[in-house]
């Protein structure tokens, strides 16, 4: 299960939050040194310096706006497909296509730094997980509780994703589609296991329908009849 | 020194086979997936665990399915599982007589031989 949210909704929400340009409950930056400046001059005449870092978006917003689109573009940029006419290889060819892959790898690498910033919430407080209600998916509150309790594990997953994305960047710079495939597999492994930890730990996977393979029984001469049931 | 018990077994699978593994081991056999630790998640593969039952699928370059070597799993209500496997398109093969057990064989999606046993 890959990361799929309603992009329009989230992007609009993120843009609104950015344009509002105000602190939210997620703000993690330290308060300005008001005491020192108050002693030197009236507070009304010297505006407090803006904090150098301000947390605006949630993990969910970052996934929707940066991580998922970047990873999807990289996964989609190289593939091997078996068709009735043979094997079809897909990879970047033009300089612009390689440059686009590079941009996506850079966004993904740096995006992992945003993920691990102290004070960032899993979901904007008061907002739901966008696919809440899907079987196995934690509610925003359940997810936040787990996120807080296991934050070092989340940081390790983000670090592992950065490593995988860095392998992707190296492969892109070498124009190595096989390396990109390998890096893409590593990225997928990290994403899936992080999601399994923090997003849908209770997922239940239904069995595949029969059309995925012919049912064929091969009886053994000494078969023991199974009891009905 | 004493070897005490099996902690887990690992089966090999080809790169990119995680979803197929999930459909078989979790979807059909009903063993939940447990997240791999972050440092191991980079390698791909997936872990299926319930209590002491731990089957790990690891990606192997140049993968070849285990056709002879196999894991034997004790199950309850083998006939129901058999129906579930058949409904999902899996080919079953009856095992030779083994006193005290009903047993069948099935290949996982990668061709690894799996034995399913129920005491009678």
What ipTM does the predicted assembly reach?
Answer: 0.86
Highest mean pLDDT among A39-43, A155-159, A217-221: A155-159
- Give the pLDDT of residue A40: 52
Q: What is the DSSP letter of B98?
A: B
Q: Parallel, antiparallel, or unpaired for β B101-107 and B113-119? A: antiparallel
The C-alpha of A158 sits at a distance from chain B's nearest C-alpha, in angstroms, of 8
CB A191 within 8 A of CB A81: no
CB A47 within 8 A of CB A38: no
Of residues B33, B89, B95, nearest to A220 (C-beta):
B95
Count CB pairs under 8 A between chains A and B: 125
Residues from chain B contacting residue A223 (CB–CB below 8 Å)? 94
Q: Is the model more confident about B94 or about A171? A: A171
Q: What are the φ and ψ backbone dihedral angles of A100, each rounded to 5 degrees? A: -65, -40
Residues paired with A88 in a beta bridge: A81
The C-alpha of B2 sits at a distance from chain A's nearest C-alpha, in angstroms, of 34
Task: Report CB contact under 8 Å: B15, A185.
Answer: yes
Other CB atoms within 10 Å distance of the CB of residue B45 = 23
How much is the mean pLDDT over chain B?
94
Is it the case that residue A55 has pLDDT exceeding 80? yes
Say how far apart CA B63 and CA B59 lie, in whole Å.
8
Question: Average of pLDDT values for B31-56?
Answer: 95
Q: Parallel, antiparallel, or unpaired for β B101-107 and B92-94? A: antiparallel
Query: CA nearest B105 in A: which residue?
Result: A218
Is it the case that residue A220 has pLDDT exceeding 60? no
Q: Which of residues 123-162 of A touch B (CB under 8 A)?
A: 153, 156-157, 159-160
How much is the mean pLDDT over chain A?
80
- pLDDT > 90: what percent of chain A? 57
Task: Report CB contact under 8 Å: B94, A153.
Answer: no
| DSSP H stretches of helix in A124-217 | 140-149, 151-173, 177-198
- Give the pLDDT of residue A224: 35
What is the CA B38 to chain-centroid distance, rounded?
23
User: CB distance from B61 to chain A under 8 Å?
Assistant: no
Q: What is the dihedral of CA A122, A125, A127, A128, to 10 degrees?
A: 50
3-state helix, strand, coil in chain A (%, to 5): 50, 5, 45
- Give the pLDDT of residue B109: 94
Of residues B38, B77, B89, nearest to A190 (C-beta):
B38
What digits encode the pLDDT tens for the residues B80-108?
999 999 999 999 998 888 999 999 999 99
């Amino acid at each position: 299960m890959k990361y799929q949210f309603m992009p329009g909704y989230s992007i609009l929400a993120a843009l609104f939050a950015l344009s509002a340009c105000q602190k939210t409950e997620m703000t993690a930056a330290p308060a300005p040194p008001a005491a020192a400046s108050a002693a030197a001059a009236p507070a009304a005449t010297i505006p407090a310096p803006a904090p150098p870092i301000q947390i605006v978006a949630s993990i969910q917003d970052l996934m929707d706006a940066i991580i998922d689109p970047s990873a999807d573009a990289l996964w989609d940029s190289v593939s091997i497909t078996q068709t009735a006419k043979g094997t079809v290889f897909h990879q970047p060819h033009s300089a612009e296509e390689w440059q686009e892959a590079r941009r996506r790898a850079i966004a993904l690498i740096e995006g992992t730094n945003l993920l691990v910033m102290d004070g960032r919430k899993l979901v904007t407080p008061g907002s739901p997980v966008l696919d809440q209600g899907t079987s196995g998916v934690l509610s925003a509150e359940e997810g936040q509780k787990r996120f807080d309790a296991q934050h070092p594990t989340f940081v390790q997953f983000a670090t592992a994703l950065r490593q995988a994305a860095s392998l992707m960047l190296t492969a892109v710079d070498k124009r190595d589609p096989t390396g990109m495939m390998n890096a893409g597999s590593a990225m997928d492994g990290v994403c899936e296991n992080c999601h399994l930890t923090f997003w849908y730990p209770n997922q239940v996977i239904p069995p595949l329908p029969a059309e995925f393979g012919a049912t064929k029984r091969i009886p053994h001469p000494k078969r023991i009849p199974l009891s009905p049931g | 020194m004493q070897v005490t018990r099996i902690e887990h077994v690992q089966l090999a699978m080809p790169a990119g086979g995680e979803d197929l593994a999930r459909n078989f081991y979790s979807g059909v056999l009903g063993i939940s997936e447990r997240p791999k630790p972050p440092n191991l998640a980079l390698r791909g593969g997936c872990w299926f665990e319930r209590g002491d039952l731990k089957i790990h699928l690891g990606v192997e370059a140049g993968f070849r399915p285990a056709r002879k070597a196999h894991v034997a799993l004790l199950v309850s209500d083998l006939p129901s599982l058999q129906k579930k496997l058949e409904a999902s398109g899996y080919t079953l093969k009856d095992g030779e007589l083994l006193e005290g057990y009903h047993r069948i064989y099935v290949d996982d999606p990668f061709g690894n031989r799996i034995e399913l046993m129920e005491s009678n």
